[in-house]
Amino acid sequence: MAWVAARQAVHRWWLVVLIDIGLVAAGAVELLLETRPAWTFDFAWGVLGLVAILTRQRLRWVSFLATLPALYVTGILIPTLITLFAVAERSRRRWMLFAASAVVAVLWLSPWDYAPRLGVLLDAIYAAMFGMAPTVLGLLVQTRRDLSQKLVELTEARRVERESAERQIVAAERARIAREMHDVVSHQVSLIAVQAGALQVATDDRQTAEAAKSIRLLSVRTLDELRHMVGVLRASGSGATELTPQPTLSELDRLVSASGVQASVLTEPPPGLPPTVQRALFRAVQEGLTNVRKHAPGAVTTIMFSATSRVVVLVVENGPSVEERTEFPSSRHGLIGLRERADLLGGSLATERLDNGGFRLRVTLPLSGEPGA
């Protein structure tokens, strides 16, 4: 891109040089036709007018004033018209432009030694045309440039307005989802927690009481995470709102022990992983254990971490089911969400059914933890 921009800049520079050479050449031809090519006083003023053409972009008014002696002395018009156009193209002072046009018209008539060329009326018309034409053309170019800028600003304003409307629509949809999650999921999970607490108090069986206690704790933890999730949804995406508190791999042992799965961590995760990577790996282990509990009850599960200089790899592998399966509704949204997490971090997710009837989940993430890495 830098090379293309440099080439375009060189092309524009050569175009400006060619235009300047053409304008100076046209003025030189007019000067040679009006005066003899000799270093006389009149010819020197004409040369000064030609030099003023080259400085018209930086010293606009100075260049215009430098051409007036040549117009009066030699009668050449091209340098004055060019510099007047350059002034009118940028100047915002209309009265100065029209005063400059009047000066050009008066000097072209040369009233101090005036002798009618085409007749008094025609001379006046031509003088007015020579004086006003560059100013009008310059103002036309200036107006066109202003309108183009206004059009760009209007397009940008419409884009911002459209994005604002889209954000409002998204915010309304997020609020609707938050309401549904709170009204439906929160209500039902609360009932589960209450019933589990009642069962824990009422039963005399120790194993049943422990199971009820686990259900109640999981329900309470689910309600807590649901409350944070509803808060994020209601934030309408206005900032980098996070689901707090966010899990890390330091809670991996608690997750495994509370999963109800015969799982063990064979190799520990490498230390110092970024929070985004830890969160993605934690959710991957969580989803893997959930799938084992749903689709392969009683299966022995292993969790393994490995790392290179650039990536960290997680493998959750389970054997075949050893207990009777309970049918659960499944839409594979969990695996879809894990794949999206991996893609956002520039990693990958792979799943594989094993020959012994087991299943393997493999997640590879870059150590940088930067989105899109």
3-class DSSP string for 130-164: HHHHHHHHHHHHHHHHHHHHHHHHHHHHHHHHHHH
With contact defined as beta carbons under 8 Å apart, do 282 and 251 qualify? yes
Question: Residue 301 in 3-state DSSP?
Answer: strand
* Angle at the Cα of 331 from the Cα atoms of 325 and 332, rounded to 5 degrees: 85
- In angstroms, the CA 156 to CA 160 distance is 6
Instruction: Map out the domains of the chain with their CATH numbers.
Output: 2-115 (no CATH), 248-366 (3.30.565.10)
Q: Which two tokens stand for residue 361?
A: 């989940």
Q: Go through the chain and tell me how many residues it has.
A: 373
pLDDT of residue 22: 75
| Amino acid code (one letter) for 184 | V
Cis check: omega of the bond before 69, within 30 degrees of 0: no
pTM exceeds 0.85, yes or no: no
* Angle at the Cα of 106 from the Cα atoms of 102 and 111, rounded to 5 degrees: 160
Q: Tokens 């889209």 — which residue? A: 166
- Residues 6 or more apart whose Cβ sits within 8 Å of residue 260: 214, 293
Sign of CA dihedral 57, 59, 61, 62: negative
pLDDT of residue 3: 53
| Amino acid code (one letter) for 171 | A
Q: What is the pLDDT along the chain (373 residues), one digit of tens a residue?
A: 455 455 565 557 667 677 777 777 777 777 777 665 555 677 777 777 777 888 888 888 888 888 888 887 777 888 888 888 888 888 888 888 888 888 888 787 765 455 555 666 777 777 778 888 888 888 898 889 889 999 999 989 898 888 888 888 877 777 777 766 665 676 577 677 777 777 877 888 888 888 888 887 877 777 777 777 777 766 655 444 444 456 788 888 888 887 778 888 888 888 888 888 988 899 899 888 888 877 888 889 999 999 988 899 999 999 888 876 655 555 566 777 788 888 888 899 999 998 888 899 999 999 876 655 5
Q: pLDDT tens-digit profile of 83-111?
A: 888 888 888 888 888 888 888 887 877 65
